[in-house]
Structure 1
């Protein structure tokens, strides 16, 4: 197993690696994207499919990234070049581009979260949630908080793996989990919690029969996005492992915590919305801000809940952002021997500039462009990269992957071979079907809503 020189480091303890991986997964993907996806895609039937995809695709796919990262000790570009040969480095390059695209608009959304933290303390959105969102989601406010969030992300990544990322997630991840549990308990006391739980927990399979072309790719894409698979994050984090841990156990812990947080988020978001009389299926990426902010004004202790919720939301967003930026920074360190702090600063500036047009778009244009970026990244690029990575590991480098998985597993038996065959057939087939559906749905969006928006 090779190790890259230069500015590389390693985790000081197992908990640091697990918390960093959980922190990457528990972010906007869970707190922002999961509730509005579940609301748009039929509630419980989406949740059920999402859980199935996490088990069928998420666990085996995460193991794929972990084995590649630990075996090579490099970020995605160098790792895939070493694992599969020089031409495979371009797949790693795709992961870098995906991270750039995601964090560029992710940071704009996270900037909204920071602005809502301020609004929660000052009462700025009380009684005017829609007007408040339209005011802060675009223009100078959006650009300023986009810059603040990106600067925070750069500052943590620049400090390195141990003094920056590991130290930060050791505080942030437990805080997020604690707040989510407290909010679930609070939501359980709300008047319309029972109706919300029925919507969220009782699947209406007739929706799946009529809307499966939309629900299936959305659920699979959410599983990939939520677990930070397909963008090289888990390859990068596993590359910092310097001891023979049981990757299977670590994967199980990470997936379990991430999925639990996503599921628990729904348990408090939907009771709040139903109690406030807000429809859960309101479309658009900004709906979670408008709906929840409006709901906080109509529920008991809403102002306090708003501060707690958006504070937790900001911490979760930051924990994910540092992991995505680390993928890009590790690329500079591995491939060019770059200095970490300078690379983090340059990366942050580039991502800020890429996200600037989204922040400055008018309130009428912005939602459709966020949808344009988000659907492309989460349902097409992530899944496409995942398919090619699964083929590389399960069909071309299977022996090396199984040997790497066996390290740290006592009496592994047939587990590595079962894992490889899960990846070879069920995972790849499901991903191919999901990608075909997503491309068709995205094409309909481009030729329909987006074309109408552009006046074509």
Structure 2
């Protein structure tokens, strides 16, 4: 069997992990959830969740990955806890489940780049979304996005993923900063910043039951937790890397990109509509596409250029996350069965394309896939991982997290305490509320 690959540089790992985290969860889901869940109230709860729950949880996945030095599924067996292999398997399946419909949205984004350049959606944004989001055209663009994702993963860690994300992540940040500066210059943006940056704590207190699970699940989704991606990426790390330093930087950069996305989207919506539009408030997978497209349409020729740049940013972010999800299963198969990386990447890419055709054919399926991932699969996967790291692997986890740091004993103890207590409680409550929500939701949609 060939020697296992490693990251060429530390910054390569950080940017790849940030690239995994910075994706549609930040630029599609985060502004949408902010719009529908109270604006700054949701932002505040999300920031708390990312710091107090997301950071300890991502460090736990890093510990498992680097300690085992193998893919997410086999990691628990190598750590001499084979019964917990179910955690890695669930993460792998969760990532594949998400990627199957994530790729469909990536196809929408590609279509919107073309539509922005030609002005195709300017006359009727809602009708345009209905036309391109479902059916044969959506399936074709879904296939193209999945093919590009598989192609990058096929090139491997250093030559494929690391090189791609070194270009992608800085590009995302630069373009978002430019768009945020533009949004700041728009007349009437002040109301948007008040909605986005001034939390109503009374609203939070009155709506904890809905805001908290959405915010915590958003933190899981945007940080790529519970999908096996962070375990797999950390498995390529050396012992001299500080997991705490790298994890903190990844969480900060990921959160900053999400906030930047909000600073672009929310002002655009407010300037054009005077508030969060009814389309966004009504929910639905394409609500934000329709609302933002309407904002660009109202800007005329300038809207074409802005649309190309904005959806270009979203496409790059979507790809950076998609490759991390496909890498999880690719790493598992290459590590354990010796199949070639290109054949594995394209083989699973083809299978996920087939599964994703349901979501591409009818957005009702996409909404159901997303609800199940957000409400059940992600929190369940994270919960099992937190239990393992905190209560099963505790002493060894403390030993691992201290590597690459100096005087890290007190920090490691505090981290383990957090994982065992409030992080575990927060994830459990999120799972309970998610299951309750799914149970009360409509059944699987018909084709």
The TM-score normalised by the length of structure 1 is 0.94
- Superimposed CA distance per residue, residues 190-235 of structure 1 (whole angstroms, 9 cap, x where no aligned partner): 1121111111112223433443222111100000000001111110
1:233 counterpart = 2:240: no
TM alignment of 1:370-385, pairs within 5 A: 370-385=366-381
Offset of residue 454 of structure 1: 6.1
Distance of 1:58 and 1:117 partners within structure 2: 32
- Cα deviation digits, residues 349-387 of structure 1 (max 9, x gap): 0100000111112xxxx2x32221112112311111111
Q: What is the TM-score of this pair, normalised by structure 2?
A: 0.96
Correspondence list, 1:30-45, <5 A: 30-45=26-41
* Corresponding residue SS for 2:409: coil
Matched, 1:46 2:42: yes
Q: What is the aligned partner in structure 2 of residue 292 from structure 1? A: 292
How much has 1:72 moved relative to structure 2? 0.7
* Structure 2 unaligned regions, length at least 5: none
Q: Residue 96 of structure 1: SS of its match in structure 2?
A: helix
- Give the structure 1 partner of residue 283 of structure 2: 283
Q: How does 1:307-456 map to 2 (within 5 A)?
A: 307-361=308-362, 366=363, 368-446=364-442, 450=443
CA separation of 1:7 and 1:146: change in aligned 2, threshold 3 A: farther
Give the structure 1 partner of residue 255 of structure 2: 259
Conserved? CA contact 2:119–2:297, under 8 Å: no
1:243 shift after superposition: 4.2
Matching residue of 1:107:
103
Deviations 1:375-424 (CA, angstroms, capped at 9, x unpaired): 21123111111111111111111111111111100121311111000100
Deviations 1:323-346 (A, max 9, x none): 000001011112222211110011
Question: For this pair of structures, how many residues does the alignment match?
Answer: 442
State how far apart, in whole Å, the 2-side matches of 1:329 and 1:230 are: 17
1:95-137 Cα shifts (integer Å, max 9, x gaps): 1110110000000011000000111111111121111111100
How far apart in 1 are the matches of 2:358 and 2:394?
A: 43
Q: Structure 1, residues 277-302: CA drift from partner, whole Å, max 9, x if none?
A: 15152411101110001111223722
Q: Is the 8 A contact 1:123 1:303 kept in 2?
A: yes
CA RMSD between the two structures: 1.5
Q: Which runs of 4+ in 1 moved over 6 A?
A: none
CA contact (8 A) 2:16 2:165 kept: yes
Match of 1:218 among 199, 214, 225: 214
2:157 pairs with 1:161: yes
Quote how far apart the aligned CAs of 1:84 are. Answer: 4.8
| Structure 1 pair 109–259 and aligned structure 2 pair: CA distance change class (3 A) | same
Cα distance in structure 1, aligned partners of 2:4 and 2:339: 10
* 8 Å Cα contact 1:6/1:333 also seen in 2: no
Report if aligned partners of 1:114, 1:145 keep a CA contact under 8 Å in 2.
yes
Asked if 2 retains the 8 angstrom alpha-carbon contact of 1:7 and 1:340, the reply is: no
